[in-house]
C-alpha cells in the first residue's frame, strides 16, 4: 500500500505557494503632465525615494514608518515595446556639475519597481511573512490625455471649440496668420491640405512654447512618431462657416478627424490607458500664472477636460469603450519649492478652483480625485528676512544661470485673479536650477513626496 501522506503534504505545500503568489500584487500608475510640468523630475524622484527608502526622508509613508518595507529594487519592465524610463540618465543630469534638470521623454516610457514588504496582519500575514508589490510607473504625454474629449465631439463642434479660442487674444497674435491660411484653403487637394495641417501643428507648437497654451488638440500633431507625414494627421479645424458649406474639403477633413478618433485615440486608451490602476496628473499652475490670465483660464479648461475624461458615469463613452479600472486620480501642483511655505495652501486652493465647481474632491463612479502640492526635487531653502516692517518669507537657491539668488516669491492667489491684476503687477515665479550636491545614492530633498507615495501605495501595502 502506498502512503498518501507525502502526496498530501506536497499538495498542501503547492496550495500554499499558489495562495502566496496570489497575494503578490501589481499596481500600474499612469503619470502625465500639462505644460511641461516636470514629469521626468517627478518620476525620477519617486524611483529615488523608493529605492533609497529612509524614514527621516519619508516620515509620512506609513508602511515605512511601521518598519514593514523590506526593500525596493528596479526590475525589468513588463511591456517590451515601451521605452525604458531613463532613470540613470536623469540621475546623471541631476548630479553633474553644474546640475541639470533631466530631459523630458517623448512618447511612452515605463519603469518597474519591486517592493518587498511585510503585510500588516490578517490572512495575508498568516500565509506569508513577506510579499512583493510590483509597481509600474508609465510616463505618457499629457496631450494624449487631452485627446480623449475628442471622442465626444464631431468635426463641426471641434472646429467651433478651436476657432473660439484661436480667435481670442493673446493667442490671436500668434494664430492670426494660420487662421487666414486656413480660410483661404477651399479645395481638397491632398498636398495643399497636408501643408495647411503641417502649419497647424507648427502653430500648436508655437502656442505651447511662446504662449504657454495647454489645451492642444490633436495630441499627435505635437508628437507624431511613426505617423509623421501620414494622411491621418493631415487635418485641422476649419472656420465654422466653412464647415457649414460641407464642401469636398470639409468631407475630407471630417473623414480624417473620425479616422484619428478610431485609429489613434481609441487604440491608445484600449492598449494603455485602460490598464492603469491609478492616474497622476502633474500641473504647473505657477508657469500659467507667470504667463497671464488667458493661460490660467486655459489650464482650467484643460483640467476640466481631463476630469471629464475620468468622469465615466454609466453609459458614458469611456465606460462603453473600455472597462476602466482607475480607482484614484491625483492632481499634483508641482514646484512648491518655488513659493514660500505659507503660500502652499493658496496654491492648493487655486488648483482646486481651476477644476471648476465639480472639481474639488470630485467623486466619480468608483474612483476618488484629490489634489496635492509638492516639490519632487527641492531646489530652494526657505528663509526669512526683515524688510523693516517685519519678517518676510523668502526662498534661496540658484537660478538657471547658476547664480545664487534670494527671492520674495510673493503671494499665490487662491483663485483666478481679475484681468487688471496682470496689467498692474503679474507674477514672476522664475524657474530655479536643481539643488547642488545631489549624489546618486545620497538623500534627495523634496516636499511631500512621502504623502504622494502613501497616496499611491498605502492601501496596497496593508
Using CB under 8 A, list all residues that contact a second copy.
Answer: 76-77, 80-84, 88, 107, 190-191, 225-227, 229-232, 252, 256, 259, 263-264
Q: What is the Cα–Cα distance from 460 to 25, expressed in whole angstroms?
A: 8
Return the closest-CA partner of residue 308 out of 356, 257, 237, 370.
Answer: 356
SS3 436: coil
- In the complex, the smallest distance separating the C-beta of residue 109 from a second copy, rounded to whole angstroms, is 9
Residue 72 β-bridge partners: 115
Q: What is the CA radius of gyration of the chain?
A: 25
In the complex, the smallest distance separating the C-beta of residue 106 from a second copy, rounded to whole angstroms, is 10
Q: Give the bridge partners for 369, in sequence order.
A: 329
12 or 229: whose CB is closer to a second copy? 229
Q: How many angstroms separate the Cα of 168 from the Cα of each of 31, 136, 163, 298, 302?
A: 31, 41, 9, 12, 17
CB closer to a second copy out of 82 and 307: 82
Smallest separation (angstroms) from a second copy to the CB of 120: 33
Using CA atoms, how far apart are residues 345 and 348, in angstroms rounded to an integer?
5
If the CB atoms of residues 166 and 234 are measured against a second copy, the closer one turns out to be 234
Q: How far is CA 426 from the centre of its chain?
A: 26
- CB neighbours of 165 closer than 8 A, spacing ≥ 6? 171, 215, 298
Q: Closer to a second copy at the Cβ: 92 or 384?
A: 92
Report the nearest approach of a second copy to the CB of residue 231 (Å): 4
Task: State the minimum distance, in angstroms, from the CB of residue 147 to a second copy.
Answer: 15
| Residue 82 vs 135, nearer CB to a second copy | 82
CA distance 113 to 138: 12
The sign of the dihedral angle between the CA atoms of 303, 307, 309, 310 is: positive
Which residue's CB is nearer to a second copy, number 106 or number 320? 106
> CB 52 → a second copy: shortest distance, Å?
20
Amino acid at each position: 500500500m502506498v502512503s498518501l501522506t507525502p502526496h498530501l503534504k506536497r499538495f498542501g505545500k503547492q496550495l500554499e505557494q499558489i495562495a502566496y503568489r496570489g497575494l503578490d500584487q501589481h499596481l500600474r500608475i499612469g503619470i502625465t503632465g500639462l505644460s511641461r510640468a516636470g514629469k521626468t523630475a517627478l518620476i525620477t524622484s519617486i524611483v529615488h525615494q523608493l529605492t533609497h527608502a529612509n524614514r527621516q526622508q519619508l516620515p509620512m509613508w506609513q508602511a515605512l514608518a511601521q518598519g514593514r518595507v523590506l526593500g525596493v529594487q528596479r526590475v525589468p519592465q513588463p511591456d517590451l515595446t515601451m521605452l525604458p524610463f531613463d532613470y540613470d540618465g536623469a540621475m546623471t543630469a541631476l548630479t553633474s556639475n553644474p546640475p541639470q534638470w533631466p530631459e523630458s521623454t517623448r512618447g511612452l516610457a515605463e519603469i518597474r519597481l519591486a517592493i518587498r514588504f511585510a503585510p500588516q496582519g490578517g490572512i495575508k500575514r498568516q500565509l506569508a511573512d513577506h510579499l512583493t508589490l510590483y509597481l509600474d510607473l508609465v510616463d505618457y504625454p499629457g496631450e494624449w490625455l487631452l485627446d480623449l474629449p475628442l471622442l465626444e465631439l464631431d468635426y463641426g463642434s471641434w472646429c467651433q471649440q478651436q476657432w473660439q479660442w484661436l480667435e481670442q487674444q493673446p493667442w490671436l497674435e500668434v494664430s492670426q496668420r494660420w487662421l487666414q491660411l486656413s480660410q483661404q484653403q477651399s479645395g481638397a487637394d491632398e498636398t495643399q491640405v497636408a501643408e495647411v495641417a503641417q502649419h497647424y501643428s507648427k502653430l500648436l507648437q508655437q502656442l505651447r512654447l511662446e504662449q504657454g497654451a495647454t489645451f492642444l488638440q490633436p495630441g499627435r500633431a505635437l508628437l507624431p512618431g511613426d505617423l509623421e507625414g501620414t494622411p491621418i494627421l493631415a487635418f485641422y479645424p476649419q472656420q465654422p462657416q466653412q464647415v457649414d458649406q460641407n464642401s469636398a474639403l470639409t468631407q475630407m477633413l471630417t473623414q480624417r478627424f473620425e479616422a484619428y478618433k478610431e485609429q489613434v485615440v481609441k487604440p491608445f486608451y484600449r492598449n494603455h490607458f485602460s490598464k492603469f490602476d491609478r492616474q497622476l496628473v502633474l500641473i504647473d499652475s505657477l508657469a500659467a500664472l507667470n504667463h497671464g490670465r488667458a493661460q490660467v483660464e486655459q489650464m482650467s479648461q484643460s483640467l476640466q477636460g481631463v476630469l471629464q475624461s475620468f468622469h465615466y458615469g454609466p453609459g458614458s463613452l469611456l465606460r462603453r469603450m473600455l472597462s476602466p479600472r482607475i480607482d484614484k486620480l491625483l492632481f499634483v501642483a508641482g514646484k512648491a519649492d518655488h513659493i514660500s511655505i505659507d503660500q502652499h495652501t493658496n496654491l492648493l486652493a487655486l488648483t482646486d478652483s481651476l477644476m471648476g465647481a465639480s472639481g474639488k474632491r470630485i467623486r466619480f463612479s468608483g474612483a476618488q480625485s484629490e489634489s496635492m502640492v509638492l516639490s519632487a526635487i527641492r531646489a530652494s531653502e526657505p528663509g526669512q528676512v526683515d524688510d523693516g516692517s517685519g519678517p518676510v518669507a523668502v526662498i534661496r537657491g540658484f537660478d538657471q544661470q547658476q547664480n545664487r539668488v534670494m527671492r520674495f516669491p510673493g503671494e499665490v492667489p487662491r483663485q483666478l485673479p481679475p484681468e487688471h491684476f496682470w496689467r498692474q503687477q503679474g507674477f514672476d515665479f522664475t524657474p530655479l536650477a536643481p539643488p547642488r550636491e545631489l549624489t546618486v545614492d545620497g538623500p534627495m530633498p523634496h516636499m511631500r513626496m512621502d504623502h504622494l507615495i502613501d497616496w499611491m501605495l498605502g492601501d496596497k501595502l496593508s
